[in-house]
Amino acid sequence: MELFSYSNLVHAIAGGSGSAVAMSALYPLDTVRTRLQLEEGRTSKNTFIQMAEIYKHEGIGGLYRGLLPVIESLYCSNFVYFYTFHGLRRVANEDKAAVKDLLLAMLAGSVNVMMTNPLWVVNTRLKMQGAKVTTASTSTSSTSSQASPSHRHYKGMLDGLLKVRREEGITGLWSGAASSLVLTINPAIQFMVYEAMKRQAQRVSGGKQMSSLAVFGVGATAKALATILTYPIQLVQAKQRHGHNYEGLPQKAGLISIMFYIIRRHGFWGLFKGLEAKLLQTVLTAALMFVCYEKIAAVVFAVLVGRKKDMMVKH
């Protein structure tokens, strides 16, 4: 059955490895993005000023806090996504139709969410653990934060999974899962914009193939647009996983409830806090990830083809 094949495994390993390399290289950008999303008292400034502030107060360790659990979660997440997508594509989309690719990508994203969400819940909390958190000056923040699950101490990924399961129940491990399922639309938007821009560029150039630089530019633009359109959901997702400190709002509040609370307290633009850092991180990481993914997959497949030829010669 094509759903389970060695080829799918190669794509999964390459995808997981590529994402791990890209995130490791650009991790400080993700640290800034997380701090801006989760620290109510931290004001949005230039991303690199934020990075310098964290380095000044917490050293290089502050910029790389929680790297290992993030890499673990990211590798598992992309492994599941790439394996599922390529497996489904072989079974249900042999003609490689764009609409089918779109639907299969969303389905693969949904499978990924349900399988790996507990890892992201714990790693979000581990990432903020020990950080010198900037809190809001209002009394409501300080009084309600004591009940927040983000203030509990976890020794590592496994310890975090066990404690969340014990203290918050099975639903605690899937905090933010609904937001994550909605966010499967992110790669769908990216895919549609990318294909539309590529077709337009080829029409303008008279059908000529785009250069690598043009492909990078189109891909970056598509990813940036998808990120901007879905960013408020990503912000709420981070707060659901980490545990918010909003007085009068239950810890397991839904997507819409948290979104309206943020608008009431910070205005509409409060939904886009940390967007600059997120754009830098997600566009650069996605570009680097795909470069690594293509290289790793090409090398592995070349090795496999070489082995097959050697076996044929021997026989």
Over residues 45-53, mean pLDDT = 84
37 pLDDT above the threshold of 60: yes
Name the percent of the chain lying above pLDDT 90: 12
Please tell me the predicted confidence (pLDDT) of residue 79.
92
Q: For 144-159, what is the mean pLDDT?
A: 66
For the residues of 35-49, what is the DSSP string, one character each?
HHHH-TTPPP--HHH
As a whole number of angstroms, the distance between CA 129 and CA 154 comes to 8
For the segment 225-273, what is each residue's pLDDT rounded down to a tens digit?
989 999 999 888 888 887 776 777 776 778 888 899 889 888 998 899 8
Answer for the pair 243, 176: CB distance below 8 angstroms, yes or no: no
Per-residue pLDDT, 94: 74
| Cα 113 to the center of its chain, rounded Å | 11
Whether pLDDT at 281 is above 90? no
Structural domains of the chain ordered from first start: 6-134+148-314 (1.50.40.10)
With a CB cutoff of 8 Å and minimum separation 6, the contacts of 35 are 42, 50, 54, 128, 131, 134, 274
Q: Give the pLDDT mean for 181-198.
A: 80
| Residue in 246, 240, 40, 256 with CA at minimum distance from that of residue 147 | 246
pLDDT at residue 146 greater than cutoff 50: no
pLDDT score, position 139: 39
User: What's the rounded Cα separation, in Å, for the pair 177 and 115?
Assistant: 10
Give pLDDT, residue 116: 92
pLDDT confidence band for 136 (50 / 70 / 90): low
Residue 156 and residue 126: Cα distance in Å, rounded?
7
Q: Is the pLDDT of residue 314 over 70?
A: no
Taking the chain, what is the end-to-end CA distance rounded to the nearest angstrom? 27
Q: List pLDDT tens digits, range 72-108.
A: 888 999 899 889 888 888 888 777 676 777 788 889 8
* Cα-based distances in Å from 39 to 81, 113, 284: 30, 25, 24
Considering the chain, what is the average pLDDT of its residues? Answer: 80
CB-based contact 36:273 (threshold 8 Å): yes
Q: Which two tokens stand for residue 271?
A: 């939904």
For residue 44, what pLDDT band results from cuts at 50, 70 and 90? low
- Higher per-residue confidence, 122 vs 151: 122
CA R_g for the chain: 21
Give the pLDDT confidence score for residue 132 in this predicted structure: 64
Q: Which two tokens stand for residue 147?
A: 């009940």
pTM of the model: 0.71
At 161 the pLDDT is 92
Q: Tell whether the model's pLDDT for residue 162 goes beyond 90.
A: yes
The tokens 């991790």 sit on which residue? 27
pLDDT at 144 over 50: no
| pLDDT given for residue 145 in this prediction | 40
For residues 193 and 305, which has the higher predicted lDDT (pLDDT)? 193
